[in-house]
Amino acid sequence: MYKYGLTGMPLGHSMSKIIHEEILKIKNIDGKYSLLETDNLDKSFWEVLTNLDGFNVTIPYKKDIIKYLDVCSDEVKLYNVCNTVKILDNVKTGYNTDVYGFNDTLLKNSVNLKGKKVLVLGNGGVSTLIVLEAVLQGADVYISGRNKEKIYELIDFVFLKTGVKPKYIKKEDIDYFDVMINGTSLGMYPNVFESFIPLEKLKNISVVFDVIYNPYKTLMLRVAEYYGNKGISGLNMLVAQAVKAQEIFNNITLSKDEFLKVLNKAKENIPPFKVDKNIILIGAPASGKTSISREIAKILNMQFIDIDQLIAEKEGMTINEIFENKKEAYFREKEREVFLESIKNKGRVISTGGGLAEYFNLNSINKEENIIVYIDVNKDILFNRIKGDTTRPLLKDDKNKLFEIIKRRHPVYKECCSLSQKVEKEENIKDTTVKIIDKIILRI
């Protein structure tokens, strides 16, 4: 039996064992693939690795492993990054199959970097490879990340290899890019709400490629696609580099159908994008709570709940009819009941009526499980929105009544909310939605 493995730290959520063992199964190779997590790549652990027929290397050892090798492939020499080691007759040869996975993914998604303005996030092993490869392919490359000193070291390294200097850019200066590639682990399961850049910046980036594969569609990709831009998951890159590694280990090739089978096997083992809290939107009538709630639910893969709609369905009449026939006190009691029932399950975006916060103490609910968002819209915008709207029982196109309600409720909204989003002028609902999500992820 052949023995293979993956070393790195952490490996708790790695898909490599599933992928490699599926390849071995498809090609009828008697082999086993193990996860060999370590926080210290020292001589004693190296001896464990050399008992294998080959192994893969991930964060944080893709550079550190090189000093232990007997032979380095041309790719390892170029990128100074190794992710695959084959052991034959006690000779340890290092390869880089990440570059194959990267280029295979670009090709399958019809992305050509030549002449494009490209932003790379990060300065680790994967980012090093991506920056160098993008420069070699003729891209105008910018780099951003948390460690400015390391980024300048990467810039010097790329200049030494190519004679071309990528540019450093602060995250606040990021504007339009043809392609952005995230080479960091920010946004990877279980920390799926981490993001280096404000999500609203993705509006002006035509293609977003996230090397993360778990979740299959990261928050970054979800927002990019919400804006109508192209999002590319890192799963194909992961599978393609694994296939290339097994080709090196066993001198095999996979057909397109076999590759797809491995990809689907990996995909079905990735848990869905999930939010284990509720997001509750409050605010004045016509502040956009229902529309924005629906948009947030779409992006975050959550269930959308409209409290007024649920009440109307339960009562078999419109909200106006309930106010006319059963009066406001009856409605408020039903509103309280339906709301409390709705927050029992998590993973929901809940749009509330404008009066809920005034007639029910929202501070009484668990704020660890429920994030309350106040949509704070300019009162003149609100009036322009309700003009001619006869479906709002407490307003009836009455400007003074609206302003009186806002004056009374605004302090209540502010006091009970987890966060607020001010809207001083009419703007695209997508922009408002993503600004709110940028704030929400700081509290999840």
User: What order of strands is seen across the sheet that includes strand 71-72?
Assistant: 31-37, 2-8, 54-57, 84-88, 91-95, 71-72
Task: Select from 370, 368, 369 the least CA-distant residue to 356.
Answer: 370
Q: What CA–CA distance (Å, rounded) separates 444 from 442?
A: 6
Helix (H) or strand (E) segment spanning residue 34: strand 31-37
Question: In sequence order, which residues have a C-beta less than 8 Å from that of residue 173 and are 6 or more positions away?
Answer: none
- Is the backbone of residue 282 left (phi > 0), alpha (psi -120 to 50) or beta? beta
Return all residues near 133 (Cβ < 8 A) that are at least 6 apart. 79, 99, 102, 103
- Name the maximum alpha-carbon separation found in the chain: 88
* Residue 339: DSSP 8-state: H
Helices 148-162 and 125-136 sit at what angle, rounded to 10 degrees? Answer: 40
Decide if 430 is catalytic. Answer: no
Tokens 């009186």 -> residue = 404
The residues with which 119 forms a beta bridge, in sequence order, are: 142, 180
Q: Which among 441, 436, 421, 287 is positioned nearest to 352, based on CA atoms?
A: 287
Strand order in the sheet with 419-423: 303-306, 348-351, 278-283, 370-377, 419-423
In this structure, what is the dihedral angle of CA atoms 420, 176, 126, 258, given to the nearest 10 degrees?
100
Beta-carbon contacts of residue 385 (< 8 Å; ≥ 6 apart): 286
Least Cα distance to 101 among 118, 121, 86, 81 occurs for 81
| Phi then psi dihedrals of residue 318, to 5 deg | -75, 165
Alpha-carbon distance of 34 to 55, in angstroms, equals 9
Q: Identify the active-site residue in 32, 43, 62, 77.
A: 62
Active site (catalytic) residues: 62
